[in-house]
Amino acid sequence: MEKLHPKVGVRMWARSAQRVSEIAAQGFSHATTDFDLVVGDADLIILAVPVGAMPDLAKRLIAAGVGGEQFVTDVGSVKVLPHETVGAPLKAAGIRFLGSHPMAGSDQSGFSAASPDLFEGAPCILTNDGGLPDDDVNRLVAFWSGLGARAAVMTGDEHDHLVARISHVPHVMAAICALVALENEEDGHFAGGGLRDTSRVAGGDPAMWREILSENKAAVAGPLRQGAELMQRLADLIEGGKEEALEAVLEEAQVRRRRLDNDL
């Protein structure tokens, strides 16, 4: 943020004094445990915490007197739940809230994994279930675009069903890949790039992903069962020696994957 917009002031709040010290040790001095100090005159407040921790912060924002021209967004991986537990009480208190989900990052976490170019070229989905006017939506679009992201707007429900297929289910598939392929962990010494590419995101924080999958269970369960059915079908084709049908499935997968490269 400071690299792309050097005239914009950035302050960071953390619940833990130890975390603040760790952040300061990495060269970012504007971190504090003083919640009211951080949100007091901020133009934009970003809730970058687990979705389950957001309702408590919504109460604190209301108690701190946030309002007027101030704006609140979040960067959670689901959107229906934050609109219900954060957006609704903030709206009742006269505080503007829009959901954000920048589709960027890696299996690494924490301040040390931060990158000034993280959002360059990345999609960022905005959700306006609170029905804010276009001027407010465009204001947040401009913020994310200023960081290099490609913003799109949809409902929270549309978002949750979309990311179930393109993000949450792929994480589960990566976990399955790691569990099956590395049943004997020493076999990993012989693995090439394919296994590393396919299983990479399984290295992410299990507690965070447990929360994400639980919060989006209504949208994730169906595609997961679809994947299980497809794996069963592939197993049947392989066992049955139906090579042409097997190749047809693999060709369709190839076509879709290559389209993904063309879209990047």
218 & 100 share domain = no
Sign of dihedral through CA atoms 141, 13, 49, 177?
positive
Last residue in a domain, options 135, 154, 173: 154
16 & 142 share domain = yes
Task: Give a yes or no: residue 1 inside a domain.
Answer: no
177 & 201 share domain = yes
d(CA 44, CA 82): 17
Boundaries of domain holding 32: 12-154
Last residue in a domain, options 154, 181, 203: 154
139 & 93 share domain = yes
One-letter amino acid of 241: G
pLDDT along the chain (264 residues), means of 10: 68 89 85 92 94 96 94 96 97 96 75 77 96 96 94 97 97 97 94 94 94 96 97 98 98 94 74
Last residue in a domain, options 112, 134, 154: 154
Domain count within the chain: 2
- Predicted local distance difference test score (pLDDT) of residue 16: 86
146 & 211 share domain = no
Strand 44-47 to 123-127 pairing: unpaired
17 & 147 share domain = yes
- Predicted local distance difference test score (pLDDT) of residue 118: 87
Other beta carbons within 10 Å of 81: 19
Cα 66 to Cα 26, 58, 144, 231: the distances in Å are 30, 10, 22, 51
106 & 171 share domain = no
89 & 219 share domain = no
Condensed to tens digits (0 to 9), the pLDDT of residues 192-233 reads 999 999 999 999 999 999 999 999 999 999 999 999 999 999
- Predicted local distance difference test score (pLDDT) of residue 108: 62
Query: Are the C-beta atoms of residues 74 and 54 closer than 8 Å to each other?
Result: yes
d(CA 204, CA 217): 19
Q: Output the pTM of the full model.
A: 0.90
Nearest 5 degrees, angle CA 115-CA 126-CA 105?
25
Q: Domain with 33 in it: what CATH number?
A: 3.40.50.720
Task: Give a yes or no: residue 7 inside a domain.
Answer: no
| Closest-CA residue to 45 (of 121, 125, 127, 100) | 100
147 & 165 share domain = no
State the chain's maximal CA–CA distance in angstroms: 68
